Homo-oligomer: A and B are copies of this chain.
């Protein structure tokens, strides 16, 4: 099965970043930049296309691991919509190269990797082994619009830009 077939089978509803065009809300921003087969995406959160932020707040203070893991899962699903928008099809993805995750977290929080697992699971479900990425997770003091998680992705494509 191809990634697009897996998305259909899993019943994932990917947001459409073409309509309205991505970037209108924030200005002076694009979804991704491509150099050869490298795609560098901008930060992606659990904010949906209507502007609703899912699971807002600071992990360890306002919300717990299950909510933050779900936010990471939603952000990963958003990133698939963004990749489809940028590449035309998820079948153009050769591999998720590096997944960097920023979790708005208290100084006491220590299980950031459990939050990231919510995103990693989505990529493995859709891309199989090619979705298993190099990974880094950091706890930050806060994120825009009170998001609790932000993903920064590097992706390898099958064809160069």
Contacts and interface: CB of A to CB of B under 8 A. Distances in A.
Interface stretch (A4-12, A13-21, A63-71, A105-113): A105-113
B121 A29 contact: no
B35 A97 contact: yes
A95 to B, nearest CB: 6
Interface string A139-161: 11111111000101010100000
Contacts of A140: 138-141
Chain A contact patch, size range: 35 or more
Given A98-B33, A121-B28, A141 B144 contact: no
B36 A108 contact: no
Interface of A: 26-33, 35-38, 40-43, 58, 61, 95-98, 100, 102, 104-113, 117, 120-121, 123-124, 132-146, 150, 152, 154, 156
